[in-house]
Amino acid sequence: MAADASLIRQFAPTGVLRASLNLGNPVLAHSRTASERPAGVSIDLARELASELGVQAQLLEFDTAARSVEALAAGQADVGFMAIDPLRAGSIQFTTAYVQIEGAYLVPQDSPITSNEQVDQPGIDIVVGAGSAYALYLARAIKNARLLEVPTSEAVVEAMLEGGHPAAAGVRQQLESDAKRLGGVRVLAGRFMVINQAMAMPRDRGAQAHAYLADFVERMKRQGFVAAALERHGIQGAKVAEAG
């Protein structure tokens, strides 16, 4: 699909493509190889889309998924990179997923908990990042345990340790990184959810733009752009999502 003037106005009404980034997600907006910051697969996708449209990309940096979603829903950003969730879908239009990552649990090293199934028990407090995709999911899925929210996903492990809580939840890569950095904790095997990371834009943009973004994501997967970006930035444990 060629980018015409009408399409460009739908995507970039201010003349630049404002991309909402969640820097709290180590898969999307971090790089183990690039010296510049921010860097990562979501930045690469934002710049590639802007290049196709013939405009500049403006990177809007947020420290949590919730703030990134809020900016997109309010029309302060034109595109975003976030996990698909039904609560978010009321105000933003998702593409299919381009990357899949795992939601996992972390517990103290000496915890009797050895499996994901043992976490959802009475008396168990699970520390989560407020507004994150995994926190939204757990709010629906957890039946017996209690969720304790902290401002960011990057703070969950330290909050668990400082508060003496039994468990923390998060993106596996973030938890594994925290476990190496802090010690005295372990990430449980397996996952409690698959987190489908997609691109998104405000629902009030035109159908032409929605269709273009959906096609863009599928092309980036099919042509190997997403896989190459993950490899280039040294990101492990993330899977390129299947074609939508």
Helix orientation angle between 207-222 and 41-53, rounded to the nearest 10 degrees: 120
The whole-chain average pLDDT of the chain stands at 95
**Residue 227: band (very low, low, confident or very high) from pLDDT cuts 50, 70, 90:** very high
Domains of the chain from N-terminus onward: 5-100+196-240 (3.40.190.10), 102-193 (3.40.190.10)
Q: How far is residue 39's CA from residue 16's CA, in Å, rounded to a whole number?
A: 19
For the segment 59-68, what is each residue's pLDDT rounded down to a tens digit? Answer: 999 999 999 9
Report how far Cα 244 is from the mean position of its chain's Cα atoms.
18
Lowest mean pLDDT: which of 4-18, 23-37, 94-108, 202-216? 23-37
| pLDDT reported for residue 199 | 98
Angle at 90 between CA 51 and CA 197, to 5 degrees: 50
User: Which H or E run includes 100?
Assistant: strand 92-108
> Which pTM was predicted?
0.87
**Residues 226, 205, 47, 234: what is their CA dihedral angle, to the nearest 10 degrees?**
-30
| pLDDT reported for residue 6 | 93
pLDDT of 109 > 70? The answer is yes
